[in-house]
Amino acid sequence: MTKTVGILGAGQLARMLALAAHEMGVKTICYDAHDTSSAAAATQTVQGSFEDQECLLAWARNCDVITYETENIPLAATDILAGQGLEVYPSRRALAMMQNRNLEKTFCRQLGIQTAEFAIVHNEAELQDAVSLLGYPCVLKTTTLGYDGKGQYRLNDDSDLSSLSLSWDREYIVEQWLQHDGECSILSVRDHDGKIKHYPLTYNQHQHGMLAYSRAPYPDRAMQKKANDIAERILEHFTYVGVLAIEFFMVGDNLLINEMAPRVHNSFHWTIEGATTSQFANHLRALLHWPLGTTEAIATSHLYNCIGQMPVCERILSYSGAYYHDYGKMVRPGRKLGHVTWCDFNHPGDTEIATALWSEINNIYN
């Protein structure tokens, strides 16, 4: 019997999950509040409010298992589904923690996992105290709903602080600015039986708060082991099912958690062509009680995000080993529209092609 996976959200991550499911003979149905979506070209989508219990349950009754493409799904929606005995993975506990930066960093500290120093603020006086405690530079973020640099403010001095215009009807977090040696991420997957597999570490570069470039695998075995160990502690804590992404700051020999995501992740899109099993296929395998696939890289891969505009497809495809992914989204500055992956199957260690491809990507952030 054909399995049906329900996906809460219908953006590009849902689109790529649907494409991976199609290859395995699995049906997908997305549910989203928006009437236009990236996933609509690849799978059936249902539009409805996450607060509309009747509509949500009507959609869910067609699903064997339910997952989500974003951590910003209202917890009330997952509660409605779980209240009807429907399977939703990853768990509500993991979702609740990872959609709130305060809970996330507090959780890490409780598990003995390092993060930047931070303070939670609710008003102007608390913000002043936090900046005095942590010093400049520091970063002010909303504790919820921020992504791709949205809801974030870097504070370098008193003038930056005084120029802020904030709405104090929400909670903020102030984080110490780390003088780090680089950024990397790990993506791990755990199945219902507790089996865990890890993808190679990915090295990341950000611009304007958005991921611009990733390269994998990152060839540091000691760092890989540290990342694996941290991921396993978190996965086991939640009896987690599905993929988990963790972003780190590399500070000397240490890894400090920046953020976590209970879903497939942009920095591992390279796994579609560059790994034995893609992150999307392994997430689906975990949900469906199917054997997890091998996570090893089959080539060094370079991933370039296309932000604000897409490059010319024909030019990208003129490079051997390059792959072009257009998410089918409306163009606007600062919007993630697609990505390009180059796998150096035939040019081990070649940096000229990687550099030339980067010059083809002309991102527009503002």
Domain assignments of the chain as residue spans, ordered by start: 4-88, 117-176, 182-360
| pLDDT value at residue 104 | 96
Are the beta carbons of 37 and 30 closer than 8 angstroms?
yes
Give me the half-sphere count of Cα atoms (radius 13 Å) on the Cβ side of residue 218. 25
Apex 39 CA angle, 50 and 325, nearest 5: 140
Q: What is the pLDDT of residues 304-313, one digit of tens each?
A: 999 999 999 9
How far is 21 from 4, CA to CA, in rounded Å?
Answer: 9
Top-confidence residue, 77 or 170: 77
Tell me the pLDDT tens digit for each residue of 140-158: 999 987 666 567 888 998 8
Q: Domain spanning 182-360 has what CATH number?
A: 3.30.470.20
Query: Is the pLDDT assigned to residue 349 strictly greater than 90?
Result: no
More reliable by pLDDT, 288 or 346:
288
pLDDT at residue 35 tops 80: no
Dihedral, 185, 191, 195, 196 alpha carbons, nearest 10: 0
Average pLDDT over residues 85-113: 95
Domain 117-176 fold is: Dna Ligase; domain 1 (3.30.1490)
Query: Which residues 6+ apart lie within 8 Å of 132 measured at CB?
Result: none
Q: Is the pLDDT of residue 42 over 70?
A: yes
Confidence (pLDDT) at 146: 67
Q: Where would I find the beta strands (DSSP E) of the chain?
A: 4-8, 27-32, 44-47, 65-68, 118-121, 138-142, 152-155, 172-176, 182-190, 196-198, 202-207, 210-216, 242-251, 254-261, 301-307, 322-326, 336-343
In this prediction the pTM is: 0.95
List CB contacts of 150: < 8 A, sequence separation 6 or more: 209
d(CA 264, CA 362): 25
* Residues facing 119 on adjacent strands: 174
How much is the average pLDDT of 196-211? Answer: 96
The two beta strands, 65-68 and 4-8, are parallel
Confidence of residue 21 (pLDDT cuts 50, 70, 90): very high
CA-CA-CA-CA torsion sign (98, 236, 117, 202): negative
CATH 3.50.50.60 for domain 4-88: no
- Rounded mean pLDDT of 66-86? 94
pLDDT of residue 209: 87
- Cβ atoms of 214 and 303 within 8 Å: the answer is yes
DSSP class per residue in 70-110: -TTS-HHHHHHHHHTT--BSS-HHHHHHHT-HHHHHHHHHH
Average pLDDT score over the chain = 94
Tell me the pLDDT band of 113, cut-offs 50, 70 and 90. very high
pLDDT at 147: 66
